[in-house]
């Protein structure tokens, strides 16, 4: 979608871990409440909540969490942003196999915004060393500020 086109639809998807501690459960409820308000005001057409695993094997290319991470990583790269430290990898021991493996650790909450089914922002993220939260993303939507689509960042590199 070019920068001059208006999106036909905007939707949000909130990803949450199944095993949230109480403070994160309260945050989830608060984020879902804000998404509901944004839907009522027309800032988003719809939203849904998806439960994902706390961590998944990096080598498991078929798991949905890994696919979402790849999608978010592509957006972050094109937008000049970083998903670290919100998504992380660590060496874990498998009780099932007795082997160590590298696993991708998912954030407790993550928000994805889509315009016409194109990912235009994932939160949390960092840009220029500054973290940007889900709440800041919701603030932008509430204020009528458009999310930054991939490819919109001006990135320069030193020679």
Q: Which domains does the chain have, with CATH numbers?
A: 10-142 (3.40.30)
pTM: 0.86
Please say whether the dihedral angle defined by the alpha carbons of residues 18, 24, 26 and 31, taken in this order, is positive or negative: negative
C-alpha closest to that of 115 among 6, 5, 2, 7: 7
**Token pair for 96:** 């099932």
**Token pair for 113:** 């915004």
- Over the stretch 42-72, which tens digit does the pLDDT of each residue have? 999 999 999 999 999 898 888 999 999 999 9
- Over the stretch 100-130, which tens digit does the pLDDT of each residue have? 999 999 999 999 999 999 999 999 999 998 9
Please say whether the dihedral angle defined by the alpha carbons of residues 108, 114, 117 and 119, taken in this order, is positive or negative: negative
Q: How confident is the model at residue 149 (pLDDT cuts 50, 70, 90)?
A: low
| Burial state string for 54-66 with b = 16 or more CB within 10 A and e = fewer than 16 | ebbeeeeeebebb
Mean pLDDT throughout 135-143? 95
**Token pair for 70:** 């790849």
**Token pair for 117:** 């089914």
pLDDT value at 150 more than 90: no
Contact in structure between 119 and 70 (CB atoms under 8 Å): no
């Amino acid at each position: 979608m070019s920068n001059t086109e208006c999106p036909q639809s905007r939707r949000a998807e909130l990803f949450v871990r199944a095993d949230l501690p109480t403070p994160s459960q309260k945050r989830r409820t608060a984020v879902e409440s804000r998404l509901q308000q944004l839907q009522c005001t027309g800032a988003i057409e719809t939203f849904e909540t998806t439960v994902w695993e706390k961590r998944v094997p990096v080598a498991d290319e078929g798991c949905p969490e890994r696919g979402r991470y790849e999608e978010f990583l592509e957006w972050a790269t094109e937008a000049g942003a970083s998903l670290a430290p919100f998504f992380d990898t660590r060496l874990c021991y498998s009780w099932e196999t007795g082997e160590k493996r590298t696993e991708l650790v998912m954030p407790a909450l993550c928000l994805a915004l889509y315009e016409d089914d194109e990912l235009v922002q994932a939160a949390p993220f960092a840009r220029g060393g500054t973290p940007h939260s889900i709440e800041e993303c919701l603030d932008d939507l509430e204020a009528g500020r458009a999310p930054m689509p991939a490819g919109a960042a001006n990135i320069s590199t030193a020679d």
